[in-house]
Amino acid sequence: MKFDNTYDKLPAEFFSEAAPNKFTSPKLLKFNKGLAKELNLSLESESEESLADIFSGQKILEGSHPIAMVYAAHQFGNFVPRLGDGRAMLLGEILDLKGKRVDVQLKGAGPTEYSRNGDGFSALGPVIREYIVSEAMHHLGVPTTRALAAVATRDDVYREIVQPGGVFTRVAASHIRIGTFQYFGAKRDVKGLETLLDYSINRHYPEIQSAIKESDGSLSSAVLFLRKVIIAQVSLVTKWMSLGFIHGVMNTDNMTVSGETIDYGPCAFMDTFKSDQVYSYIDRNGRYSYENQRAIVAWNLSRLADCLIPLVDPNQDKAIELLNAELKATNDLFIDEWQRRMAEKLGLTITPATKSEDMALIVLWLELLEKEKLDFTLSFRTLPDLLEANVDQQNSLFNPTSDFNKFELMWKERLKNEPLGIAAIKEKMNSLNPLYIPRNHQVEKAIQGAIKGDLTVFNEMNQVLSNPYAHQPDLDFYKQAPLPNEEIEATFCGT
* Active-site annotation, residues: 253
Task: Identify whether the C-beta of residue 87 lies closer than 8 Å to the C-beta of residue 115.
Answer: yes
Alpha carbon 436 to chain centroid, angstroms: 17
Task: Identify whether the C-beta of residue 330 lies closer than 8 Å to the C-beta of residue 230.
Answer: yes
Burial class (CB in 10 A: 0-12, 13-18, 19+), 159: middle
4: left (phi over 0), alpha (psi -120 to 50) or beta: beta
Among candidate residues 241, 230, 227, the one with its CA nearest the CA of residue 142: 241
SS3 of residue 456 by DSSP? helix
Give the dihedral sign, CA 42/46/51/53: negative
Task: Identify whether the C-beta of residue 86 lies closer than 8 Å to the C-beta of residue 138.
Answer: no
Among candidate residues 436, 464, 466, 461, the one with its CA nearest the CA of residue 446: 461
Measure the CA–CA gap between 417 and 302, rounded to whole angstroms: 40
Q: Cβ atoms within 10 A of the Cβ of 444, count? A: 18
Task: Identify whether the C-beta of residue 88 lies closer than 8 Å to the C-beta of residue 126.
Answer: no
252 to 73, 79, 108, 179, 181: CA distances (angstroms): 5, 9, 21, 5, 10
Check residue 476 and report its DSSP letter.
G
Measure the CA–CA gap between 297 and 278, rounded to whole angstroms: 16
Dihedral of the alpha carbons of 126, 128, 130, 131, in degrees to the nearest 10: 160
Query: What amino acid occupies position 129?
Result: R
187 CB-near residues (< 8 Å, 6+ apart): 81
